[in-house]
Structures are given as C-alpha cells and as structure tokens.
Amino acid sequence: MPEIGIIGGSGVYRMPSVELIKDAAVDTPYGEPSDAFKLLRVSGVEVVFLARHGAGHTMPPHKVNYRANIWGFKSLGVKRLLSLGAVGGINPVLAPGAIVVADQIIDMTTGRASTFYEKDEVYHVDFSEPFCPELRAAYIEAARAINLPVLTRGTYICTNGPRFETRAEIRYYSIIGADMVGMTAMPEAALAREAEICYGTIATVTNHAAGISTEKLTTTEVIETVNNASINLNALLLKTISLIKPERDCPCKDALKDAKL
Ligand code: HPA
C-alpha cells in the first residue's frame, strides 16, 4: 500500500502527471471522511490523496471530520502525510503567492474533536515540533532543486473560521508570534502525530490577513491566488515525493512511546 498521503485541494489529482488508479472508500469509527480517498500514481509512485473539504469544496473548516480523515490515511498504510493549505499573511514578509514550509503552530480552534484518546486510554504526545523534521527537510530540498523560492519556517495560527479575522485579532496574533493564519492545520497535525504519521504543511499565502492591507478580504482573492500558485505547488509536491526516503528516522514514528499515562 502507498506510504505517502496528500491532503489538500482537489487541484492535486488533476495534475497532468497524475494517474487515478481507483477510489478507496474507508469506514472509520469516527464517521465519514471528507471524500473517497483517491489512489494515484504520481511519477511512478503510488500515493493516496484526500480532498480535505470534499470533492466540490463543500465542507467548511470547522465541519471537516479530521479524525475520520487521519484514521483513513492510517488504515490505508500512509506513514507520511503531505498537507497543503491556504493562509493569510500576518508577517508583512508574507505577500500573496508566497509559499511557506511551516515549522510551528498556535492552536486557536475550539469545539473540534482533537484526539483519538478521549476515554479509557490517556496519551500526551510530544508536540513541541508539530511538523515532521524529515518532511520539512524534503520540502526545502525539493524547493531548492526546482529553484522555487520558499520561506523555510513560519508559525501557523489556526482559527476556527469560517469567517475571516478582525483587525484586532490579527494584531494580537502578530504580537503572540504568528506569521500566518489558516483554518485547517489543527487538529489535523496533532491527530497525525497521535497516529504516528509524519505530517508536514506547505502553506500558500493567498492574501494579506485582515488589517495588514487596507483592501477588503475576499474569498475570490483567496481562490485566485491558490489557482495561480498551483503549478508551482504541484511541481514542489512532485519533487518532494521523489526525495522522500523509504525509511523513517524521525520521532514521529514513535510518538506514542512513553506517552501513555
Ligand atoms: N484567515 C484565515 N484563513 C485563511 C486566510 C485568512 O486570512 N486566508 C486563507 N485562509
């Protein structure tokens, strides 16, 4: 079974170099995943893809069944999960179109089921580095290899949405150290860690966050920027997939070791 998974927008499996092998519906104890998992062949490598917001992008970030999605990847044998997401730039360096290999997270979400261990068993997994160091290194190496400028670190603050933020919220997030704001990295990253799946996010800056520019924030702008960035993102994904080593030598694979109460 494929060991590499991709979660993101549906643009991925429409890449020219991607062949759809089959759909794989997965039953989970947590209900329905966002969509059928798609088994793909990407430059000769089999990967599993899931559209986080459903096939027609009909599922808002607070309604995504993060547990079912991560469980599904785990049950299909995925060990490395490449995540794509859109963010607003808080740090003025992050203009629309910038691509960031995130290295930290601040979680501002509420009311999302954020653990697989809520009864009988208690686990406290180490999350000081929320993204897999090997996947981060692979993204950065891939970007260099294809001459794509990326920012090699950045703190992602995850809000509940679906509304965009107020100016005061963004000012506050900036003060507490956030570089960019999105709505989906949590609890996805934490659940992947509990599932001992390596997880790494490539964030595409689609807009200046609220109040960083005087322009009104629109979903149209977000979609346009994602579409414009998709050729670069797809190239980055392809190169990253080719650089991922079969053996894992990172802490993610042993996340549950010594984590049980
Ligand atoms: N805020 C939150 N999520 C986002 C944004 C934003 O400005 N842009 C894209 N996703």
Which pLDDT value is given to residue 239?
95
Query: What's the CATH superfamily of 4-254?
Result: Nucleoside phosphorylase domain (3.40.50.1580)
Beta strand extents in the chain (DSSP E only):
4-8, 18-24, 37-42, 45-51, 80-89, 99-101, 104-107, 155-158, 180-182, 198-208
Tell me the CA distances in angstroms from 198 to 31, 126, 239, 248, 260, one per residue in order.
23, 13, 18, 9, 19
| Ligand 1 lined by 206 (C-beta under 6 Å) | yes
Locate 217 and state its tokens: 């924030």
Residue pLDDT tens, the chain, 261 long: 669 999 997 666 667 678 889 999 899 999 999 999 999 998 889 999 999 999 888 899 999 999 999 999 999 999 999 999 999 999 999 999 999 999 999 999 999 999 999 888 999 999 999 999 999 999 999 999 999 999 999 999 999 999 999 999 999 999 999 999 999 999 999 999 999 999 999 999 999 999 888 877 788 888 888 888 888 999 999 999 999 988 999 999 999 998 888
Q: Which residue, judged by its Cα, is nearest atom 2 of ligand 1?
A: 182
Which pLDDT value is given to residue 61?
95
Nearest-atom number in ligand 1 for the CA of 165 is 1
Nearest-atom number in ligand 1 for the CA of 159 is 2
Any idea where the domains of the chain sit in the sequence?
4-254
Which pLDDT value is given to residue 64?
96
Which pLDDT value is given to residue 223?
81
Nearest-atom number in ligand 1 for the CA of 217 is 7
DSSP 54: T
Task: Provide the H-helix boundaries in 49-95.
Answer: 66-75
CA dist 203 and 182 (Å) reads 9
Q: To test ligand 1's pocket by mutation, which of 183, 212, 213, 218 has the most ligand atoms within 8 angstroms of CB? A: 183
CA dist 236 and 253 (Å) reads 24
Q: Who's near 143: CB < 8 A, 6+ residues apart?
A: 99, 101, 149, 150, 236, 239
Pairing of strands 180-182, 155-158: parallel
Q: State pTM to two decimals.
A: 0.95
Q: What is the pLDDT of residues 208-230, one digit of tens each?
A: 999 888 877 788 888 888 888 88
| Ligand 1 lined by 251 (C-beta under 6 Å) | no
Q: Which residue, judged by its Cα, is nearest atom 6 of ligand 1?
A: 88
Which pLDDT value is given to residue 185?
97
Which pLDDT value is given to residue 25?
86
| Ligand 1 lined by 222 (C-beta under 6 Å) | yes
| Ligand 1 lined by 86 (C-beta under 6 Å) | yes
Nearest-atom number in ligand 1 for the CA of 183 is 3
Backbone angles phi, psi at 252, to 5 degrees: -55, -35
